[in-house]
Amino acid sequence: MSGGSGASPENGGGIGATQAADEAERHQPAHFAFDEESERRIPGILARYPETRKASAVIPLLWLVQEQMRRQTGSAWVPKAAMDVVAARLGMPPIRVYEVATFYFMFNTRPIGRHHLQVCGTTPCMLRGAEEVARACRDATGIKAYGETSADGMFTLSEVECLGACVNAPVLQVDLDYYEDLDYESTVRLIEALRRGERPRPGSVIGRQASAPEGERTTLLDVPGE
């Protein structure tokens, strides 16, 4: 993922990646504790693994942290204090948890905007208009480059590799939802809706059924007996 540092709230753009890293350090909470909802889910997660292999639960527990932060702060990320709590809970060295949290792109190790816009930039999406989707994201949020957060704190823009929905390319992942078959205009409309606090229905924005062909059926046209 690339990160820009040229734009800033002062010059009308988003928060640059370097600045965001400094912000992250400043905003690292001193403490973290699982809340009631997370604690309710932890026994079920730990039960999937043998007692001697508890470390295998590191990814689901980091995910619980990130979702708890989304609930509590509106920003889905994993603070360092939370990584330490996960390490203690699983009886593993903190460095092992840091390694996992920083390796997987699904974990945000610094605060992000309320909505995480993840543009798929891999070949099928690129051929079907991913650059227009990215341009719409920049225009509608004021963000100048991947890695930045908008000045209003509403959006963080990232480029990701194949999201596994190539048949409905181009695809934009917003938080946990996929929006598919996008173009410039539909992406702008989506972001404007998110800004109004709405949550448009995920999936194909042109009404495609699942991953069926656009428009009419193109195969299996002969029905025996008809």
Taking the complex as a whole, how short is the minimal distance between the CB of residue 101 and ligand FES, in angstroms?
Answer: 24
Give, as ranges, the residues between 7 and 26 that touch ligand FES (CB under 6 A).
none
- C-alpha to C-alpha distance for 210 and 40, rounded to whole angstroms: 34
- C-alpha to C-alpha distance for 76 and 114, rounded to whole angstroms: 8
- C-alpha to C-alpha distance for 111 and 147, rounded to whole angstroms: 11
Taking the complex as a whole, how short is the minimal distance between the CB of residue 128 and ligand FES, in angstroms?
Answer: 8
Taking the complex as a whole, how short is the minimal distance between the CB of residue 125 and ligand FES, in angstroms?
Answer: 3
β-sheet with 155-160: strand ranges across: 155-160, 115-120, 172-174, 177-180, 203-204
**Half-sphere exposure in the Cβ direction for 165 (13 Å, CA):** 22
In the complex with ligand FES, the residue whose CB is nearer, 100 or 165, is: 165
In the complex with ligand FES, the residue whose CB is nearer, 49 or 178, is: 178
Q: Is residue 122 near ligand FES by the rule CB under 6 A?
A: yes
Residue of the chain from 166, 182, 188, 194 that contacts ligand FES (CB under 6 A) = 166
Give, as ranges, the residues between 124 and 163 that touch ligand FES (CB under 6 A).
124-125, 162-163
φ/ψ of 159, rounded to 5, equals: -105, 135
For ligand FES (CB under 6 A), the number of binding residues is 11
Binding region for ligand FES (CB under 6 A)? 120, 122, 124-125, 162-166, 169, 171
